[in-house]
Structure 1
Amino acid sequence: MAELNKIVGLAWGPGFQSTGSPVEVSISNYGLQLTTQDDYDGTPAWRDISVRKGGFNDSQVMIEWQGRAGSYMLTVSDISSVATLRVQLKTAPQNKENIKTAGAKIQDRATRIWSNAFIWGIFVLPMLVLVAIVWEHERLTTWAISHVTVTQERKWGEQIFALTKQHLTLVKGPGATMVREIGTRLSQGSAYQYEFYVADDASVNAFAMPGGFIVINTGLLALADNAEQVAGVIAHEIQHVEKRHSLNGMVKSAGLMVTASMVFGDLSGVASLGSALIKYKFSRQHEAEADIEGLKALVVSGISPIGMRDFFRKMSQKETLNLEWFSSHPASNDRFMSLDTAIKALLPATVAAKPLPYDYTVIKAVLLK
């Protein structure tokens, strides 16, 4: 029987926490052995495993494999575990070429770490970094997000939307066509490639995901009186993407672990956060910004902003009801008064824009079938 060595690390994947679960892993010449949601998934052989460097100064080892239940990742940061893993990678008879290469890189990195000041490298520096992340979480989050490209955000959005879509019933028809056409009109010239969808859901809600994925529920379309009111909601949600409110909320909801990973240059954990993070409750500042910038977008697109004000006022009057919209979009009379004030400052011709070319009575009739 192959001799087992123990290492410790953080595990991501089916059955583990979204921010990583501390685990103890047995390793041998065969491969890994740990407890997973699917027993088979917890015993991958080296030939089925990918190993790479990651984290701050490439001091971590990232181990990835594909199981029956999904994709798994193990992050190893402890220096003794890294050293143990290096030895095992060197002696395992079934190693692939990429594992051998990774093992050589790990050996070089471990040697450099041990040759530097042991106390600073192993104890003091990590503690200082942890303290900095805790005390400067807000600032570090903002800094990390500013270094995320639109392309990277789009990839995350695609993965999160793929997870979310499993729990949605997306519909087609005149309502979906109207939402897509209005959204395209409002997002012209954006760096994001938007996708607009309508979900068959009676709750009055709409949400925006990082990367430009926007979903409007049929319940919201049924409550609206006209296409201009729907346009106001879409303009508002687009601005949550443009101003990166959705991305900001996603990272903050994930906690310190993901922020630390992003600061250290490791972006792999963010993509596996899951669709639950879209329920992040926007701050009043973000809501006010999305309102005003959305109003500006309506004016630029030649759509009357009155619909936005009227629909949000309608929602404010129903604030005492249990509407899904308020779980992620906190309302206040001040917001609607600010919109009304902003509209009164506009030129009359801007407010009285040409009506949108949709027969909303027909659209609502189809939705209610």
Structure 2
Amino acid sequence: MSHANYAGHAFHDSFNNGRASGEITITDAHVQFRNDQGNVRFSITGAQFKLGGASDRLLFISHPSQPGWNLYTSDLSILKHPALHNDPAVQAQVKKARNTKRLAWGVFGSVGMLLVAIPLCIVLFMDSITGPLARHVPAEWEEKLGETAFGQYQMGQEFLPQEEADTLLEPMIQPLLDHLDSDRYQYRFHISRDDQVNAFALPGGYIVINSGLILKADSADEMLGVVAHEIAHVTQQHSVRNIMGTAGVYLTINAVLGDMTGLLAVMADAAPFLINQSYSRGFESEADAEGLALLHRAGINPEGLITFFEKLRQQEQEQIEKMAGEDNSAAVESTLQFLSTHPATEDRIAQLRKRIDALPHQRERDLQTEFTALQERVKLFVAEEDEEEQ
């Protein structure tokens, strides 16, 4: 006769408080419980075996012949006892109990995997997730955020008088604004006295164009290619989506579930982050595509964006070759500033070329006269600073 003992418990009216600990013994034909207060013994045939308790971690055993007794144990190795597999009815119950346990572990494992997978997917696909979320941010919030960030940027910065900037830029930029798909934002363009070949956009339609960009460009098409790219950063809400990406998985999950308060609170303090922000490759590619489409709708040659990128790439290469082995990082920094925030990789230029080749041919605007007037005024604006320093 084979038998095995398992630590267990029993419910019965004869025990204090109706419950007591003891030992459960399984033999070839019987189940027995005993302790110093009493014992019970019944046949395996006809016995009931059921999982229960938290996460089905307990096995309950009872028998119709002993209606007042209910045994249970947390030692689930009892299910492996050979005697429980000899009786077909008991075997079916044991099999069901074991399958229930496997299912519970499977569900537990699946939930655990989801708890890991959901945050991981949010991190990996943050750019895609933030798109629908950003549309729930009121335009007024974006405009206030952009205004605050621009106010901080203005400190210690020189700008071409706004009335002059508006007059010079309007004939070139208005065609772009006229062909936007949405009037969600009121755009404001500013010309900064800064020799870095750069431009940047802030939420709500604030766009700063550096004097270095205007003077380095050879045509209106080149400058407007960069401006259209920056407008696309605004229309696609890339700054807001950047903030969402840094807000953390918890706040993003809450926003996905409909609670935007946490993200909006983070946005309220994010102005300093926006001045020197960089965009993901996905955001830059999206701005390229949207910017090119806008240029085409406005009748402006989109080749300008490519030629400008290629020019900067060539200049970058010349500087690297010239400065190789020399400690002149500060001298190179200004030249590479635009590329650091707008990386013009060979693959990216190729994608721009592919998109332009797919556009239908159309008559394009000639804005060179207006651009020449802008450059001449910016040259004087930059020279004014040089005279003040002498």
TM-score normalized by structure 1?
Answer: 0.57
- Asked whether the 8 Å contact 2:189–2:206 carries over to 1, the reply is yes
- Asked whether the 8 Å contact 2:225–2:302 carries over to 1, the reply is yes
Secondary structure at 1:196's aligned position in 2? Answer: strand
What is the aligned partner in structure 1 of residue 215 from structure 2? 222
What is the aligned partner in structure 1 of residue 108 from structure 2? none
Q: Identity over the aligned pairs, expressed in percent? A: 34
Distance 1:204 1:134 in 2: 37
Distance 2:285 2:174 in 1: 23
What is the aligned partner in structure 1 of residue 338 from structure 2? 325
Q: 1:135 to 1:359 in 2, by over 3 A?
A: closer
- Asked whether the 8 Å contact 1:142–1:248 carries over to 2, the reply is yes
Among residues 366, 374, 377, which one is paired with 1:354 in the alignment? 366
Query: Which stretches in structure 1 are left out of the alignment for 5+ residues?
Result: 1-127
Secondary structure at 1:268's aligned position in 2? Answer: helix
Root mean square deviation of aligned Cα: 3.1
| Per-residue Cα deviation, 1:90-142 (whole angstroms, up to 9, x for no partner) | xxxxxxxxxxxxxxxxxxxxxxxxxxxxxxxxxxxxxx999966763527645
Secondary structure at 1:234's aligned position in 2? Answer: helix
Q: 1:201 to 1:257 in 2, by over 3 A?
A: farther
Distance 2:239 2:348 in 1: 19
Name the larger-Rg structure.
Answer: 2
Distance 2:209 2:280 in 1: 20
- Asked whether the 8 Å contact 1:176–1:198 carries over to 2, the reply is no
* 1:199-210 correspondence to structure 2 within 5 Å: 199-210=192-203
- Asked whether the 8 Å contact 1:150–1:192 carries over to 2, the reply is yes
Secondary structure at 1:269's aligned position in 2? Answer: helix
The alignment status of 1:164 with 2:153, answered yes or no, reads yes
Among residues 304, 307, 310, which one is paired with 2:304 in the alignment? 307
Distance 2:260 2:115 in 1: 14
Q: Which amino acid aligns with 1:171?
A: L
* 1:1-369 correspondence to structure 2 within 5 Å: 136-137=122-123, 138=126, 141-142=130-131, 144-172=133-161, 177-188=167-178, 189=180, 190=182, 191-255=184-248, 259=252, 264-266=259-261, 267-320=264-317, 321-322=332-333, 323-350=336-363, 352-360=364-372, 362-369=376-383
How far the C-alpha of 1:315 sits from its partner, in A, is 1.9
Using the TM superposition, name which of 154-163 and 341-350 deviates more.
Answer: 341-350
Q: Which amino acid aligns with 1:251?
A: M
Q: 1:142 to 1:299 in 2, by over 3 A?
A: closer
Distance 1:359 1:269 in 2: 40
| Per-residue Cα deviation, 1:57-104 (whole angstroms, up to 9, x for no partner) | xxxxxxxxxxxxxxxxxxxxxxxxxxxxxxxxxxxxxxxxxxxxxxxx
Using the TM superposition, name which of 333-342 and 180-189 deviates more.
Answer: 180-189
Query: Which stretches in structure 2 are left out of the alignment for 5+ residues?
Result: 1-113, 318-331, 384-390
How far the C-alpha of 1:209 sits from its partner, in A, is 0.8
How far the C-alpha of 1:330 sits from its partner, in A, is 2.0
Distance 1:162 1:276 in 2: 13
Distance 1:304 1:234 in 2: 13
Distance 1:161 1:286 in 2: 21
Q: 1:279 to 1:211 in 2, by over 3 A?
A: same
Q: 1:257 to 1:220 in 2, by over 3 A?
A: farther
- Asked whether the 8 Å contact 1:303–1:353 carries over to 2, the reply is yes
Secondary structure at 1:148's aligned position in 2? Answer: coil
Distance 2:172 2:310 in 1: 21
Q: 1:271 to 1:334 in 2, by over 3 A?
A: same
Distance 2:161 2:115 in 1: 50
Secondary structure at 2:265's aligned position in 1? Answer: coil
Distance 1:170 1:195 in 2: 13
Q: Which amino acid aligns with 2:270?
A: L
